């Protein structure tokens, strides 16, 4: 029954592993069941767990972004390299079905399954890039990508591959909790003198009210939610810029020191040549760096109420929903 395929929409791909093999499932939704009835449908079986994860991540990227999916074709090709023809055929069948089904919104369900699957490993063009050649394996081990030569235009770089997104997300969540904990320990009235050490909050903000710290905690939360929505962090005000700065520094420290958190938060995710370029992230994620001189370099402690500028929304992007509340 060919036509019944149109009623069933693919929402996401998940991998299930057991000691002898890994299976890739499509999570499908039957549009006749408006309640959101979901079932698993087996797509393919592969022997290598990391390959199954990578295939799922690539397919999830394709579901979200379709033709916009940067570097998708070479990424899929690399993931299928050396696999039997039957898996190749199964993948192309499933791609045809994705193309036929309606657009998928990044709904909550998809986010919970694979919050980082929609971030690209590279932007390698489908036919390879003029500098790198064939862009083997999404340029994962490419030496040309590292060469700085203005005449050699490499088109492959991305700034937020899945492992980078995952690590930044994890640190944003961690700091969100830390700052909420600090806020809870502070009395609700106007403080008479600066608090004791409030690390990781910048020293300039060590004399504010509990309400201030709750709002600052939410700045970390908003950054984490951006990433869960498959988007790069998009600071809406100075508080979010400062929060993102602290998160990028924490993530960079974990990578530089090869701390156990690195494996904890990124293990099992597909590697990218462009992972962990924090300098580049500082360049692309900020409109300006005014906050840095004003509040990170300056160690004088502001008086209570003097930092409301932190929470004034920029002209763009459009403000976040004021009713979004606090996660805790």
Contacting residues toward Zn ion, per CB under 5 A: 124, 129, 132, 135, 139, 142, 144-145, 156
Provide φ and ψ at 38, rounded to 5°: -125, 140
User: CB neighbours of 205 closer than 8 A, spacing ≥ 6?
Assistant: 198, 212, 216, 295, 301, 302, 307, 310
Q: Which is nearer to Zn ion, 156 or 269 (CB)?
A: 156
Among 116, 99, 19, smallest CA distance to 61 is for 116
> Are 99 and 134 in contact, with CB atoms under 8 Å apart?
no
Residue placing its CB nearer to Zn ion in the complex, 28 or 139: 139
Closer residue to Zn ion in complex, CB, 24/156: 156
Report the nearest approach of Zn ion to the CB of residue 136 (Å): 8
Q: How far apart are CA 246 and CA 242, in angstroms?
A: 6
Quick one: 169 or 273, whose CB is closer to Zn ion? 273
Task: State the nearest-atom distance from the C-beta of 142 to Zn ion, in Å.
Answer: 3
Select 153 or 211, whichever has its Cβ closest to Zn ion.
Answer: 153
Nearest CB to Zn ion, comparing residues 156 and 183: 156
Closest distance of CB 129 from Zn ion, Å: 5
Rounded distance, CA 65 to CA 81, Å?
23
Q: Assess contact for 55 and 114: CB atoms under 8 A.
A: no
CB of 145 to Zn ion, least distance (A): 4
Alpha-helical runs (H) found in 6-161: 49-65, 72-80, 85-100, 108-113
Tell which phi-psi region holds residue 195, choosing left (phi > 0), alpha (psi between -120 and 50) or beta. beta
CB of 326 to Zn ion, least distance (A): 42
**Sign of the four-CA dihedral 224, 225, 226, 231:** positive
Do the beta carbons of residue 62 and residue 79 sit within 8 Å? no
Structure tokens at 115: 């919050």
User: Measured from the CB of residue 95, what is the shortest distance to Zn ion in angstroms?
Assistant: 21
Place of tokens 């199964």: 90
**Closer residue to Zn ion, CB minimum distance, 149 or 258:** 149
State in angstroms the smallest separation of the CB of 163 from Zn ion. 18
């Amino acid at each position: 029954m060919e036509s019944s395929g149109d009623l069933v929409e693919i929402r996401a791909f998940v991998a299930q592993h057991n000691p002898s093999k890994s299976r890739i499932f499509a999570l499908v939704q039957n549009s006749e069941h408006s309640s959101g009835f979901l079932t698993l449908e087996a797509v393919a079986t592969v022997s290598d767990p990391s390959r199954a994860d990578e295939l799922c991540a690539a397919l999830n990227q394709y579901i979200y972004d379709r033709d916009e999916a940067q570097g998708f074709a070479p990424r899929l090709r690399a993931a299928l390299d050396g696999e039997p023809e039957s898996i190749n055929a199964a993948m192309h069948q499933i791609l045809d079905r994705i193309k036929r089904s309606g657009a998928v919104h990044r709904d909550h369900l998809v986010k919970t399954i694979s919050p980082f699957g929609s971030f690209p490993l590279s932007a390698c063009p489908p036919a390879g890039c003029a500098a790198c050649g064939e862009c083997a394996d999404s340029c994962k081990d490419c030496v040309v990508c590292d060469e700085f030569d203005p005449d050699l235009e490499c088109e492959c770089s991305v700034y937020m591959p899945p492992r980078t997104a995952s690590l930044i997300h994890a640190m944003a969540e961690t700091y969100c909790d830390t700052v909420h904990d600090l806020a809870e320990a502070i009395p609700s009235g106007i403080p008479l003198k600066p608090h004791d050490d409030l690390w990781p909050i910048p020293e300039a903000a060590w004399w504010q009210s509990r309400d201030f710290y709750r709002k600052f905690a939410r700045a970390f939360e908003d950054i984490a939610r951006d990433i869960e929505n498959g988007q790069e962090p998009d600071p809406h005000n100075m508080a979010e810029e400062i929060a993102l700065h602290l998160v990028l520094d924490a993530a960079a420290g974990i990578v530089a020191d090869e701390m156990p958190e690195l494996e904890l938060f990124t293990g099992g995710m597909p590697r990218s040549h462009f992972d962990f370029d924090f300098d580049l992230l500082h360049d692309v994620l900020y409109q300006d760096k005014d906050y840095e001189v004003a509040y990170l370099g300056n160690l004088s402690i502001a008086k209570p109420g003097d930092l409301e500028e932190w929470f004034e929304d920029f002209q763009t992007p459009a403000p976040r929903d004021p009713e979004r509340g606090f996660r805790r």
